Amino acid sequence: MDQIISQLLQDSAALKSSLAARSDFVAAVSASAELLAQSVQAGGTVFACGNGGSTCDAMHLCEELVARYKRNRRGIRAMHFMDPSTMTCWGNDFSFEDTFRRYAETFCTDKDILIAISTSGNSKNVLHAVHAAKSKGCKVIGLTGKDGGSLAGLSDVAITVPASATERIQEVHITVVHIWCELLETTYAIS
């Protein structure tokens, strides 16, 4: 068992180390942080959506922005698209595939930003939200994996983790979330 644990930790660390050495990946994270900061400074709202573990990452991002990451500061407007009553109402009456789209067309504006999370880059409900957000002038940051899927091409900035293991992709996504929070609180001095 110890060998399995060590190997899993090494696999996670090796992927993050390889990405830290890739200038294109670092540049994408930097560009996405700039987009986030521009939206926040313009009075926009950060929206986020994803499925499964990516739902939890979207909720985690919103919690860090609204409450705090490391520093006491004003709250940053952020909302995830995961209200159970709205999702089940829309899913039952229309379709689950369009629940995130409904949120995006209802809330997103040209001052806002949508964080669309899909480890495959091909989650239909996430892609529908992206199309709706973009139709409202909302910028989109895609957090994806593998080859980026359709999400990479639709995003204003795509952060693609070139791995096939969903858990490794999600581990990098949550690290990116923490990097954004760090940069918003320090580099961009959101206070």
How confident is the model at residue 190, as a pLDDT?
77
How confident is the model at residue 187, as a pLDDT?
87
How confident is the model at residue 79, as a pLDDT?
97
Predicted confidence pLDDT, tens digits, the chain (191 residues): 999 999 999 999 999 999 999 999 999 999 999 999 999 999 999 999 999 999 999 999 999 999 999 999 999 999 999 999 999 999 999 999 999 999 999 999 999 999 999 999 999 999 999 999 999 999 999 999 999 999 999 999 999 999 999 999 999 999 999 999 999 999 888 77
pTM, rounded to two decimals: 0.96
CATH architecture of the domain formed by 2-185: 3-Layer(aba) Sandwich (3.40)
Q: What is the DSSP string of the chain?
A: -HHHHHHHHHHHHHHHHHHHT-HHHHHHHHHHHHHHHHHHHTT--EEEE-STHHHHHHHHHHHHHHT-SSS--PPPPEEES--HHHHHHHHHHT-GGGHHHHHHHHH--TT-EEEEEESSS--HHHHHHHHHHHHTT-EEEEEEETT-HHHHHHSSEEEEE--S-HHHHHHHHHHHHHHHHHHHHTTS---
Q: Where are the domains of the chain?
A: 2-185
